[in-house]
Each structure stands twice: as structure tokens, then as C-alpha cells.
A and B are shown apart, each in its own frame.
Chain A
């Protein structure tokens, strides 16, 4: 098994037994309590100036996503244009964080978004590792990753092997993440050789909050830059309680190791009201350090237009309508 550097925690990843022991020793999650806490946070009332702030922040945190068999270069170019200027009628509207596509379209997305550099540029995120099921050999997964990196992806959204995790082979899951992380550092990787790795837990297949907490720690121990709820292909996808458990994990991981890891809630978030609830949760669980597109993302497509409608409403005082936002 691969040993990763988690110095303050000791030699957890040195053997499968040590890793399993550590993950099993994490405090349990009481389902009723976690869901009650999420429901309480969802009752926060965010109005006026706070709502304006939250809507703009949510837009800037979106990974605008298309992951369909029917995707084409034309579709991706349209999405890229939308990502750069979500509201053509308002230059003050922030860009989204990234465009998220399949590996074979990463190059198209990169070209459409331009090659500007710097923190504010819209990133290209590519799913990889036999997304969404992850049912392929490690060689195939690494090659999938390498192709996306070579095509100009700034971020890789990988899936974990849920079958291995659920059958008690946490070491295998760790090794795969470590290997993919290594592939993200390979030749051709942009931004000083560092492509950010988001690790998709597919929480809808993990079944329990205890598993979500363990998988979160496993991914972070293996070197994940982000932990992500879902592929969007499995129901349930992102939920508030699952995201709560993951936010608690990144908060505790930073306290234990000093390293900050981001969280991406993906799938099923369609309404502005829901996005604001996630931001309230980030605010009250991890604190303001995570209220930044570098540390929290939404994986979504339809959400953006609803946020734009809310944004126009806040600016003008009345709702416009679906034809006042662009359909791409």
C-alpha cells in the first residue's frame, strides 16, 4: 500500500490495518442529529444585502456542468460562453468557477475559455477515471486522467471505487487516489504542474453518514484537494446532511493536519434557495475560510439560470422570466 504524508496523524496509511483502524475510530455520525442540524440551518432567513452577497458568491462557485452522451463541441462552446458571461446584459455579473466536461471535450472547453491565466480565469474541470461508475482497471483510469490533463484540464473530478470501499478494501481506494493524484502532476499539467484533484465519493451509494465521514477522511489522507458528493448520475445526489458531514470532515482535517481541503456539492441543486442554504451551512460549520470558489463549489447546470433570475430580481425589484436568461 502507498504511504502518504500525513505527518501529524502518524503512520496511518502505512498498512491497510492501520488505515482501517483509523477510519473505524472516527467519531460516529448520529443520523437523526445530523439531519436535524441540517434542517435547522436550512431555516435561516437570508434576505436583502445578505441574499445579494450569497447569490453572487454562489454564481462564482459553480462548476457549470454538461456530462451527457449527447455532448458535442458546439454544446461545450456555448457552455463556455455562458461560463465567462453568465448574464450578457450585466458585465458586473461574476463568471462561474469552472466548466465541467468529459475528458474528450476538455480541449474544446480549454480553447473556448481562452488561455488567460491567473486566479480569476474560468477553470476547465474534467471528470475522469471511468466516470461515473469507476468500473475499469487502474491503467485505464490513469490513462483517462492523463488524457484530460494533456488536453488542458485544470481540475480532475475522479470517482472512488465504491465497490472496494464497501467491501472493506480501503487501502485499494487510497492507492488509486494516490496514483491519480500522481497522474495529475504528470507532464503537460498546467499551472506549474499542479492539476487540482476532486475526489467524488458518490455518497448516494455509500449508504450511511458514517461511511461518508470515513470516505472523506480516506480521500483527504490520499491527497485530495477537494472532496465531492456525487456524480449526479445516482440518486440521491448532494443533500444538506451529507454536505454537513463532509464539511465537518474538512474542518477537522485542517485542525489535525493544517491542510485545507475544499468541498463540492454536486447534483440535484437547482434552486437559488437551496444554494443559499449550502452557503449558510458552510458559513456556520467551517466558517468564512471556505466561503471562496477555491474551497467550495457547486456542481450544477440549471442552478445558474435560477441564480441569475434572483440576481435580476434583486437589482430591479421584479421577476423577469425564463426568457431573460440564456439557455445553452
Chain B
């Protein structure tokens, strides 16, 4: 029998988007100086959601000046327990407006409402709660008896988890007494602008949080600005490298969270059904737009066929389509440019002789879509095993012994995350010690918690976000 779930769309009417947004500077929405505007679209339909301002160097200068004033006059000197009150208030408002923010996130980003509702929003609120708790305990955090804020933080975030990345950046910065100028990604500015409204609602002093929207040039103006004391960037390794070059020789502090090509290592004694769930969650969560995605499956040869059969059967059950439908598992690719990159790298996989298999699913006619796909017969020499695809594409490789698994897993310029699947505890502990990755998940994948530090080795960046460790990048 066939059990078809009727459409179960989340209501769009819970979010009230304006047709046009300005920049958020010094506690108020203001127009950008220049005449340029940009449109943000729903990647599932290509419908224009809103127009937003394009901040140029003069706007960035205004924002940094406002942040400096707020830092000097109010926020830097405010006792930690007072700053905490604002952060708790923001956390509670994020929770209260969670449904609205989740819908806005799915509209602007293309991710399924199930993920924005059950992952992005609860975690974003949790990040503010966690760092609110630190604000009055900084002298006990292990960074000296009287740690001080750095001043003004310039923060540039990606489009894959727009509001959550904002929370990762803003919560620790504010808890430590810094003020911020944040530039959201070009394709996903909306939840950051709604967050600006939340700052107003929470009566946050003007200038403590400033949001400047725009393309890469806006971000460049921000990181280059002489009034910025600290730069925090999450995004591609190429841009991260450029930022590091720009900041070399200045007194600015820098943390980078960049790309990844994580190995998800499945041993023959793994809990196979849960390993399959972990593989699926590792690479198809958020359409694979995850820097720590488990994009390389390393499976022990003795269980390769069994795992692949289970995996394909499971992938065929994934529900691809309308991000606002509560039963959707995989949503839209965030932009035409990203879709083109995924197609280009997948074509390279075909050309280099790997075997492509895609889940048999109907894709909508409009918008940007890519079916969940895996490649078998992949070797370390393939581009799809080395380059970050940042899409729902899994490369399957095999290994024979634990030593070979470690060698292959570490044989990448990246080192952000890794996964190990085994029922044998001693093997998990040994693997975790051998793997050169900032996060190693054991019998799970893509699990996040504000108390747990996150960050990379090698070309995946430096600095840690989350937990006590996440304070270090915002204190001196």
C-alpha cells in the first residue's frame, strides 16, 4: 500500500516581511548611502522576498563608529551581570519569535522548516542563554584574573545557517563586552534584519549590535576598517585566506572557521542502521550546506555492499521539496551559483570515473534543486574526494584496516570534523586521538551544543567557537 502524506505547509503568514530593509546602525534602520539595492530571493521558488540595502565603505564606517561609541560609553564598562540581562532577554525573545524566525529562515535559505524549527532556532536561543551565563563569570574562565573586551568586532557570516551563525558570533562577543558590526551573507540577510528588530525590542543600547548588508565588498570594507579590533569570519577557505593576508601586520585579532571535507568512518562492527542514519544526517542535513558535513564516507570493505544497499534504500525515502512543508527532509539549494558549483563538481566525478547514483525523487520546476546523490568507486585522487562540494553529494571510499582509515581520513588539507562508527569503545577512543579534526563524533554526526567548542585544524581555520573556549577570541 502507499501511504502518501498530504501537504502539511507551515503558514507563511506568521512572518511579516517588509518589502524593503535598510541597514541597522546605532539602534535604528537607516538607508544606505549609495543608490544600490539588492534583492533576496526564495531559492525554492526564485520569488523576490525583499530588497535590502548595499552598504559601502562609508556605511561601514558609520557602523564601526557607532559600535566604537557604544563600546566606550556603555557596553565595555557595563558590569557583566548587566550585560547578561540583555543577553537573556534576547534569548527569550528569540524563543518567543521562534516560529516566525524559522519560517523566515526557510524562506530565505531554502532549508526545510523541520530543520530551522528543530535545529537552527533552538540552538540559536541556546547560544544566547549559554553566553549570557558567562557574562558575569569571565574572571573565572581561565583567561586571567581580569580579562578585558577587545573593543569592536567585525563579523562576517555565511548563508548556510544565517541566524545560528549570527548567534555563534554575536553571543560570545557581547558577553565579553565587545560591540559588533555584523555582515550577513548576500543571499540570506533576512533573519539578521529580524534580529536587529529583536535588539530594539530588547532595548539593547544603540550601537552595540550593527548589521550591514551587502555583497563581498561590504565584508571586505568591514574587515579592512581600521576601527575594527577583531575579525571573525565563517565561510570559504579562499576568502579566509584573503582575510588573513589583509590582516597580516595589523594588531587585529582573527578567528576563522572555514571549509571542510570530513571523513565519516564506518567500521564493520558499527551499529549499521544508526550508521546509515548518521551518514544521511552527515551529508544531506541542510542540503549538505554544512562546513563540517560528512562528505567522505569511508566504509570498511567487508561491509561496503551491505552499507550501500541500506544507504540507497534510506536515501530513496528522503522527501525532497517545498522547504515550508513540515515533512520535507531536503530543501532547496541556496543559490543558482551554488547549484552551478555542485553540478560542476558532480560532473567532474562522472568524468573521473566514479559511479553516480541519485535518489529517485521528483524535483520542482522552479527554484534551485539537486537530488541527494552519492558516488561510489571514489579514490583519494578524485576531485570529489578532495574539494568541498557544499551540497548533497556523498563520495564513498573504502578501507581495509583502522590504520588505513586514519591515513585516508587525515589525507585532506582540511580538518574540521570527522565521524567514527563502531560498537568497540577502545577503537573509538584510538581513532579520536588519531584523527586531525577539530570535532570527532562517535556514533553520531552533526550534533552541536553551545557548551562544546567547535573549530578546525589546518585549512579549516583557527580559533574555537562555543563553550568556555569560545570566549578566548573576544578577550585579552
Contacts and interface: CB of A to CB of B under 8 A. Distances in A.
A254 interface: no
A46 interface: yes
B5 A46 contact: yes
B444 interface: yes
B3 A279 contact: yes
B27 interface: no
A50 B271 contact: no
Nearest to A255: B309
Interface stretch (B120-128, B273-281, B451-459): B273-281
A144 to B, nearest CB: 35
B3 A283 contact: yes
B271 A29 contact: yes
Interface string A112-133: 0000000000000000000000
A265 interface: no
Given A43-B118, A47-B6, A33 B1 contact: no
The secondary structure that dominates the B interface is loop
13 contacts: A28-B270, A29-B273, A29-B274, A30-B271, A30-B423, A32-B444, A33-B274, A34-B273, A34-B274, A37-B274, A45-B8, A50-B3, A54-B3
A30 B274 contact: yes
Interface in A5-55: 27-30, 32-34, 36-37, 43-51, 53-54
A50 B4 contact: yes
Task: Identify which of A30, A34, A37, A291 gathers the most chain B CB atoms within 10 Å of its CB.
Answer: A30
Contacts of A27: 269-273
A303 B361 CA distance: 35
A194 interface: no
A284 interface: yes
Contacts of B317: 284
Contacts, number: 72
**Of listed A50, A248, A291, residue having the most chain B CB within 10 A:** A50
Contacts of B118: 43
Contacts of A48: 6
Contacts of B4: 50
Interface in B179-231: none
B114 interface: yes
A33 B3 contact: no
Contacts of A284: 317
Contact of A288 (B1, B6, B423, B444): B1
Interface in A76-118: none
A179 to B, nearest CB: 32
Contacts of A44: 5, 326-327
Given A36-B277, A43-B118, A284-B317, A30 B3 contact: no
A interface, by DSSP: helix, strand, loop or mixed?
Answer: helix
- When A and B form their complex, which 3 residue pairs have the shortest distance between CB atoms, in order from nearest? A33-B274, A45-B8, A45-B326
Contacts of B5: 44-47, 50, 280
Nearest to A289: B1
Contacts of B270: 27-28
B443 interface: yes
B269 A45 contact: no
B443 A32 contact: yes
Contacts of A71: none
B362 interface: no
A292 interface: yes
A292 B1 contact: yes
A80 B2 CA distance: 30
Contacts of A53: 3
Given A27-B270, A33-B444, A49 B6 contact: yes
Interface of A: 27-30, 32-34, 36-37, 43-51, 53-54, 57, 248, 279-280, 283-284, 288, 291-292
Interface string B316-345: 010000000011000000000000000000
Contacts of A283: 3
Contacts of A34: 273-274
A45 B444 CA distance: 25
Contacts of A33: 271, 273-274, 277-278, 443-444
A52 to B, nearest CB: 9
Contact of A291 (B1, B8, B444): B1
Nearest to A39: B118
A279 B6 CA distance: 14
Given A32-B444, A44-B327, A37 B277 contact: yes
Contacts of B3: 50, 53-54, 57, 279-280, 283, 288, 291
A292 B5 CA distance: 17
A28 B8 contact: no
Contacts of B327: 44-45
Interface string B351-386: 000000000000000000000000000000000000
Interface string B385-416: 00000000000000000000000000000000
Contact of A28 (B7, B114, B277, B423): B423
Most buried by B among A45, A50, A291, A292: A45
A37 to B, nearest CB: 5
Contact of B8 (A30, A47, A248, A292): A47
Contacts of A248: 273
A80 B8 CA distance: 37
Contacts of B6: 46-51
Nearest to B443: A30
Contacts of A29: 271, 273-274
Nearest to A213: B273
B271 A28 contact: yes
A253 B273 CA distance: 14
Q: Which of A37, A279, A292 has the most CB of B within 10 A?
A: A37
Interface string B294-330: 0000000000000000000000010000000011000
A53 to B, nearest CB: 7
Contacts of A46: 5-6, 8
Contacts of B271: 27-30, 33
A43 B114 contact: yes
Contacts of A37: 273-274, 277
A54 B278 CA distance: 29
Contacts of B278: 33
Contacts of A57: 1, 3
B103 to A, nearest CB: 15
A179 B270 CA distance: 35
Interface in B260-274: 269-274
B305 to A, nearest CB: 12
A223 B280 CA distance: 34
A119 to B, nearest CB: 15
B308 to A, nearest CB: 14
A28 B270 CA distance: 7
Nearest to A33: B274
Contacts of B326: 43-45
Contacts of A279: 3
A248 B270 CA distance: 15
Given A37-B277, A44-B327, A50-B6, A28 B1 contact: no
B282 to A, nearest CB: 12
Nearest to A51: B6
A291 B272 CA distance: 24
A291 B443 CA distance: 31
Given A27-B273, A44-B5, A284-B317, 17 more contacts: A27-B269, A27-B270, A29-B271, A29-B273, A29-B274, A30-B443, A33-B278, A33-B444, A37-B274, A43-B326, A44-B327, A45-B8, A45-B327, A50-B3, A50-B4, A57-B1, A279-B3
